[in-house]
Structure 1
Amino acid sequence: MHYRTLAGGTGPEVSALCLGILPFGSSVDDATSYAILDRFAEAGGTFVDTSNNYAIWAPGGTGDESELLLGRWLRDRGARDRTVVATKVGARPPAGSTKIWPEVWEGLSAKVIRAGIEGSLRRLGTDHVDLYYAHVEDRDVPVTETVEAFAEVVRSGATRVLGVSNHAAWRVAAARQYAADQGLPGYTCVQQRHTYLWPVPGGEWGAQWYARDDVQDMIAANDDMTLMAYGPLIHGAYTRPDKKLLAEYDHPVSHRRLDVLREVAKELGATPNQVVLAWQMGGALPIVPVVGVSSVAQLDEALAAVDLDLGPELRARLDAV
């Protein structure tokens, strides 16, 4: 395993791959979830990503399942001190709502953030998380209120590093500027969709955001920032013939990039998934892929990408399309 340090060297050291556990404790059963977490830890993986709304959309889901599962595993394995835990707030439904995300979410008010961290710590069975994200953009709450509430979470010792997910670049920049002006901790980790393929112009996923040029430029210009790339393997579409390419990626440039990706993978004796992850981890932009898997075999495929060296020539071919 390789490692990098978050927040410009002031945050925790994390494994080059982050394990996203969205379905753990719901569509991925406890035994399989434990097996995947055990294998990840055995391979040197330290960075695990969850949220306080995973997976509320599953049959009978409450949104507590993933955090509760991780909390049990951390306790049963005595693994808290060697695991970097990231979770999120803001995308649970408002109290009493009969609708769920992505139709509605509770947002990023100070009240929600205070209650959110308390609930997450309780479910995770810990006194702090290492990285705490604003999950989904909330334009009904002043950015000042959200920034100050997150700063209080840091001051209380309940988190060390702050992150933001599914936000427009200008909102992230505004929040960081306010935090800097007030001497408060700001967002340093940005979790957005990102993969080797680019979405069609204007293509979006509702409340979710892709890390387009403006986000990437912001991260490149600030040495305390890291991109956490979720959806890097586009739900298996790079390798599985039964998985149709998402409509947001289905355009001529994507098909040309897929051809080059498959050529490079064949030359390396690797899978397209491994090449995508290696391409993300080895580039100039600081990227940590957030990989979601549902089996140990899928995890092992992803882990093999950590030591896959593309080299400048192959990387140039991938980037030229």
Structure 2
Amino acid sequence: MKYRTIGTGPATRREVSALALGAMWFGSATDEETSFAVLDRYVEAGGTFVDTSDNYAFWADGGQGGQSEELLGRWRRSRGIGDEVVIATKLGARPLAPGTGYVDNPEGLSAKVIREAAERSRERLGVDRLDLLYAHIEDRTVPLRETVEGFAALVAEGTVGLLGVSNHAVWRVERARALAAGAGLPGYEVLQYAHSHLRPRLDVPDGLFPDGSLGHAGGELLSYLRAEPDLTLVAYSPLLKGAYTHPDRLPADFDHPGTPARLAVLHEVARETGATPNQVVLAWQMGAELPIIPLVGASSVGQLDESLAAVDLELTAEQRRRLDAAH
């Protein structure tokens, strides 16, 4: 396994594995026995960075979520896992009532919600401190200063380590970080957005991102990362839910002329390296100039092993240049 450092503060920065494991479906679509087996294999391979959220997976049963955090809590206790494994979770997108969702009825990012939701996550995970806590989605009904101060208060109390942000417009991220810096408070240091080798159209709105696909790490966000070297991007959906091996799963916003060209180069490099397209995508991210940590899901140990093998895949500078340039 390879590792990288996230965070800058002497008391909060952590060394984590270069490949993160997503636990979205653990405890719901992926049963407990399989989830435990995947988690055990990940740790055995040197993995130390697990990702979840307080709302995973509310859509599985029409509830409010919590299954993933609860399963991770049971796994930690049964295996004697301590702070050697960094567990990141999120708040803000948990439905306020069963049968609703994060578009029409999210918990939001008020100071009250931040405090109460973080406490519930600590209880489900069985930890005294959340290693990394993200603002999951935007809440423009709450003053940004209130959100910034709400997260910072938890860091000051020692119940949260690092702060992160996901699925926000870049200008909102920068404004929040500027507010925190101006007040001498801890701010967001880890960004979590969808990012893969294929590029989506960013002008296609949906229910969660009415202003366009804000959840994707587009050119503006990548430029922001270049300008702010202390930030880290955790890239979710790097394998596009299996679309690289099952093209029929490719989302509609990837249906544009640039996709075939990038796929062609990707498959060329896969043949040259003897790796799978999925492994090339992950290696391309992990070896990028920007600090990118791919976040992979796995519903079996076999799927996880394919992703783990990408950690040791070294792309040449020429292969990387071709992957970057295809459009």
Distance 1:315 1:203 in 2: 28
Q: Which residue among 222, 225, 235 is the counterpart of 1:229?
A: 235
Deviations 1:11-69 (A, max 9, x none): 11000011000000000000000000000000000000000000000025440100000
The two structures have a TM-score, normalised by structure 1, of: 0.96
Note the 1:51-90 alignment, pairs <5 A: 51-59=53-61, 61-90=63-92
1:205 offset after TM fit, Å?
4.7
Secondary structure, aligned partner of 2:165? strand
Query: Is it true that 1:46 corresponds to 2:48 in the alignment?
Result: yes
State the shift of 1:201 in Å.
4.0
Q: Structure 1 counterpart of 2:236, which letter?
A: Y
2: distance between equivalents of 1:76 and 1:4?
Answer: 27
Structure 2 residues not aligned, in runs of 5+: 210-214
Deviation at 1:223, TM superposition (A): 1.9
Is the CA contact (8 Å cut-off) linking 1:229 and 1:288 kept in structure 2?
Answer: yes
* 1:13-28 equivalences in 2 (<5 Å): 13-28=15-30
| Equivalent residue letter for 1:292 | G
Q: What secondary structure is seen at the aligned counterpart in 2 of 1:13?
A: strand
- Residue 269 of structure 1 corresponds to which residue in structure 2? 274
Aligned equivalent of 1:220 = 226
Deviations 1:166-208 (A, max 9, x none): 1000000000000000000000101011100111241355425
The RMSD of aligned alpha carbons is 1.3
Name the amino acid aligned to 1:212: G
Residues paired across the two proteins, number: 319
Tell me the SS of whatever aligns to 2:293: strand
Q: How does 1:242-261 map to 2 (within 5 A)?
A: 243-261=248-266
Kindly indicate whether the alpha-carbon contact (under 8 Å) linking 2:64 and 2:95 is maintained by their aligned counterparts in 1: no
Question: How many angstroms does 1:293 deviate by?
Answer: 1.2
TM-superposed deviation, 1:137? 0.5
Does the CA contact (< 8 Å) of 1:9 and 1:224 recur in 2?
Answer: no
Structure 1: runs of 5 or more not aligned: none
Matched residue of 2:246: which SS? coil
- Which position in structure 1 is the counterpart of 2:325? 320
* Contact 2:202-2:218 at 8 Å conserved across structures: no
* Match in the other structure for 2:6: 6
**Aligned residues of 2:62 and 2:98 also touching (Cα < 8 A):** no
1:213-233 deviations in whole A, cap 9, x for unaligned?
A: 111111111121000100100
Equivalent position SS for 2:141: coil
* SS of residue matched to 1:191: strand
Letter in 2 for 1:296: V
Which SS does the other structure have where 2:313 is aligned? coil
Matching of residue 240 in structure 1 with residue 246 in structure 2: yes
Q: Is the 8 A contact 2:163 2:189 kept in 1?
A: yes
Identity %: 57
Match of 2:212 in 1: none
Asked if the contact 1:26/1:61 (under 8 Å) is kept, the reply is no
